[in-house]
């Protein structure tokens, strides 16, 4: 499936949030509770709670953060 350019912000926010939340919730769940037979259930619970929050934060805050970061980057 190919998305039109006007959907770029949503597509990038979706994939960035999935990427970050999968890794972060797995690491934090592992550190806090270890890896055993209940790990995947605990991880998935953390994931489905954290993902909508991360997606919303990236979607809403991403453009402003990108703008601020652009001001910190030296132009050649």
Question: d(Cα 43, Cα 65) in Å, to the nearest integer?
Answer: 28
Give yes or no for residue 76 having a pLDDT over 80: no
Neighbours of 19 (CB within 10 A): 11
CB 11 within 8 A of CB 59: no
pLDDT the model gives residue 14? 95
pLDDT the model gives residue 50? 97
pLDDT the model gives residue 53? 97
Domain ranges of the chain: 9-33+51-56
- What is the per-residue pLDDT across 2-60, written as a single tens digit (0 to 9) for each? 999 999 999 999 999 999 999 999 999 999 999 999 999 999 999 999 999 999 999 99
Q: What is the 3-state secondary structure (H, E, C) of the chain?
A: CCCCHHHHHHHHHHHHHHHHHHHHHHHHHHHHHCCCCCHHHHHHHHHHHHHHHHHHHHHHHHHHHHHHHHHHCCCC
- pLDDT interval class at 1 (50, 70, 90): confident
pLDDT the model gives residue 6? 93
């Amino acid at each position: 499936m190919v998305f039109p350019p006007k959907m770029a912000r949503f597509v990038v926010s979706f994939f960035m949030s999935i990427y970050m939340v999968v890794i972060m919730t797995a690491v934090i769940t592992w550190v806090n509770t270890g890896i055993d037979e209940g790990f995947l259930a605990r991880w998935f619970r953390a994931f489905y709670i954290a993902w909508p929050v991360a997606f919303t934060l990236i979607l809403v805050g991403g453009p402003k953060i990108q703008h601020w970061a652009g001001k910190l980057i030296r132009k050649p």
